[in-house]
Amino acid sequence: MVRLAEKPPDRLAAWLSQTWVSYRNSLIEAGFTSDEADANVQRNTTALFVDGAPNSDQRIFDVFEGDVVVGTLWLAPRRDGGSPDEWYIYDVAIEEEFRGRGLGRATMLAAESYVATNGGRRLALNVFGYNTVARALYDSLDYEVVAIAMRKEFG
């Protein structure tokens, strides 16, 4: 149903800029302060990219339905001490006008296939608590909750 193709360099810079803005906004919507969100984006930018180019282990794909780009998938082998056969999804996004057609599910299944083909046996991700649509998708695909971060704002 979907096909993955490496995102071409001429589309990478615009995608990256938009992705960091979207990620920062998601952090703020989840309850982080602007300063916390900025620090998080900076930390990830420094760890995952050099001079605007992804580190060699990063895989950033356009998601196609037929000849139309309908989304993006960003994944890589786990870097933070996870299992050597574990990969991590940094971002999966279907463009708004294409949502509700099963493309998110198809993209996740394509990600699983890609990881398995490249020696992986496990795929991990984080999802913001407020993102109930994505959480329902991951639940339906048998992803297990391994941690729940909670906070309370007061005073």
pLDDT of residue 84: 76
- Evaluate if residue 96 carries a pLDDT over 80: yes
Confidence of residue 81 (pLDDT cuts 50, 70, 90): low
pLDDT of residue 82: 66
Higher pLDDT, 148 or 102: 102
Q: What is the largest CA-CA distance in the chain?
A: 53
Are the CB atoms for 61 and 6 separated by under 8 Å? yes
For the chain, percent of residues with pLDDT exceeding 90: 81
Q: Which superfamily, per CATH, for 3-140?
A: Gcn5-related N-acetyltransferase (GNAT) (3.40.630.30)
What is the full DSSP assignment across the chain?
A: --EEEEPPHHHHHHHHHHHHHHHHHHHHHTT--HHHHHHHHHHHHHHHEETTEE-TT-EEEEEEETTEEEEEEEEEE--SS--TTEEEEEEEEE-GGGTTSSHHHHHHHHHHHHHHHTT--EEEE---TT-HHHHHHHHHTT-------------
pLDDT of residue 151: 83
Q: Please provide the average confidence, as pLDDT, over all residues in the chain.
A: 93
Task: Delimit the domains of the chain by residue range.
Answer: 3-140
For residue range 36-73, list pLDDT tens digits in order.
999 999 999 999 988 888 999 999 999 999 999 999 99
For the chain, percent of residues with pLDDT exceeding 70: 97
Which amino acid type is present at position 147? A
The packing angle between helices 34-48 and 9-29, to 10°, is 150
Which amino acid type is present at position 39? A
Q: What is the mean pLDDT of residues 71-90?
A: 87
